[in-house]
Structure 1
Amino acid sequence: SVNLSLIGRKGRDYFRRRSWPIRQEWTGIFDKLSFEHAIDIGGDLTENFIKGTFDELYVVYNEFKSAIQQRVIVEKLFPIDATAEFGAPQATEGSSLGGSYLYEPDEGELLNALVPKHFQIQTYRILLESAAAEHGARMAAMDGATRNAGQLIKKVTLYYNKTRQAAITKELMDIVGGAEALK
């Protein structure tokens, strides 16, 4: 089954209209986006992944390419595949990479501290990408609206000038006609 955790009103409204079950929703965070939002969202999702509420976590977000181009990205965040995510080399027998290393604290404690931080940073990156993509889309929409308004102003001004000119011409013809009648 699919559990939806949604960020933002548009996504929430979309899935509510289609009666999808929503596990968690965060709205209004883009009003004043901060790293604390990423910590809250990342903490909730990490905790539920560890509890086994879900087996995999995919995020769908808008990636900012430019002010006029954004694209939808589907990215798997959990479980983390270290070789795909970080390009970690595989140690082979006899290679110089295969030596033993001493970690303090031990590897488990180190991973327990770093994985949540990594996920919080990835969550913040995704939130920033989405915010930038939205601002880019708004800029493009406002640019289009400004251009359309400029064209509309030109059309209305031309119509006004033609109407005024026709009224002046009519008045002049009435005056000339009246003067001719008096002769």
Structure 2
Amino acid sequence: MPSTQDIRRRIKSIKSIQQITKAMKMVAAARLRKAQERAIASRPFTEKIRQVMTSVAHNARDAVHPLLTAREVKRTAYVILSSDKGLAGAYSTNVIKEALAHIQNRDNTGFITVGRKARDYFKRRNFSIDAEYSGFSEKPTYMNAVEIAQRIADSFIVGEYDEVYLAYTQFISPINQKAEVIRLLPIDNVSSEEAAKHEYIFEPSAPEVLSVLLPRYLETVLYGALLQAAASELGARMTAMESATDNAEELISKLVLNYNKVRQATITREISEIVGGAEALK
């Protein structure tokens, strides 16, 4: 049985950890509010550029653009959006698992990792990492999306990749995030029915507008995914730290109860020894 001193030492240690997890929860909650606002604010812009591109593509059906060109798939790339830091529950693990479940042939697959967790995971398992980005998973900028989009588009155009998929985490609520995989390239053709909902007058011609708009569209989709991933990471971290804080409180309560039992047993034993000694002196 542990001594009261050992139990007190353990309670003190757990209380110190609890203070850290509580502080991390509060920091994550504050950052989450800002990340959530950014993710929500970006949605109208993303939706509008999608609508415009739909209409442009419909009016330029005969236009040929490298980012629209579908070809025989010889090599596929996966862009994985993960976190730079840990202590976010299963956030990074879930998005990596979702990507791996989607992969059909590892030998013909390249990876572009965003965040240290995905990079470290694939490096340890000797996967082919073609590019890696880190340092901005919690607060991505549009220029981060531009840099990644440029790398993807250039590689697709020169034939390094025949298909590009994006694995990221969709933010639903602070306690609910969903990992998913979507195709980035080639950009999917749009339906005539959807295009008819939004009519625009193009100057210059629709094909010329399309050639400018497609790279911007790719950047916008990536930026939206980065913002969703950032909010998801912070939501997962806040939830994980809240759970850790609650678990610490529960463990402290059990240790205090155990401490009282040990202390009571010690006092009872000492009283018994005193009574026994007194009886022996009679």
The two structures have a TM-score, normalised by structure 2, of 0.54
Aligned pairs (5 A) from 1:91-106: 103-106=202-205
Give how far 1:9 is off. 1.8
Q: Deviations over 1:79-113 (max 9, x none)?
A: 222415x93239xxxxxx8xxx8621222331122
Distance (whole Å) between structure 2 residues aligned to residue 144 and residue 137 of structure 1: 11
- 2:215 match: 116
- Give the number of the structure with larger relative contact order, counting CA–CA contacts within 8 Å between residues 6 or more apart: 2
Tell me the residue number matched to 2:206. 107
- 1:42-121 aligned at under 5 Å gives the runs 42-83=149-190, 87-89=194-196, 103-121=202-220
Contact persistence 1:61–1:74 (CA under 8 A): yes
- Alpha carbons of structure 1 residues 83 and 158: separation in structure 2 relative to 1, 3 Å: same
Counterpart-to-counterpart distance in 1, 2:276 and 2:160: 91
CA distances 1:88-142 after superposition (whole Å, capped 9, x unpaired): 239xxxxxx8xxx862122233112222221111101111122222222222222
Q: Deviations over 1:2-38 (max 9, x none)?
A: 2322212222222223322222111222154222111
Deviation for aligned residue 1:165: 1.7
**Does the CA-based 8 Å contact 2:169-2:178 persist in structure 1?**
yes
State which structure, 1 or 2, has the greater radius of gyration over its C-alpha atoms.
1
How many percent of aligned residue pairs carry the same amino acid? Answer: 45
Distance 1:142 1:102 in 2: 52
Check 1:87–1:15 CA distance in 2 against 1; reply closer, same or farther (3 A cut).
farther
CA drift of 1:159 comes to 1.1
Q: Secondary structure at the match of 1:30?
A: coil
Q: Which runs of 5+ in 1 are unaligned?
A: 91-96
Partners of 2:120 and 2:177 lie apart in 1 by: 21
Gaps of 5+ in 2: 1-74, 76-108
Please, which of 217, 229, 252 is the counterpart of residue 130 of structure 1? 229
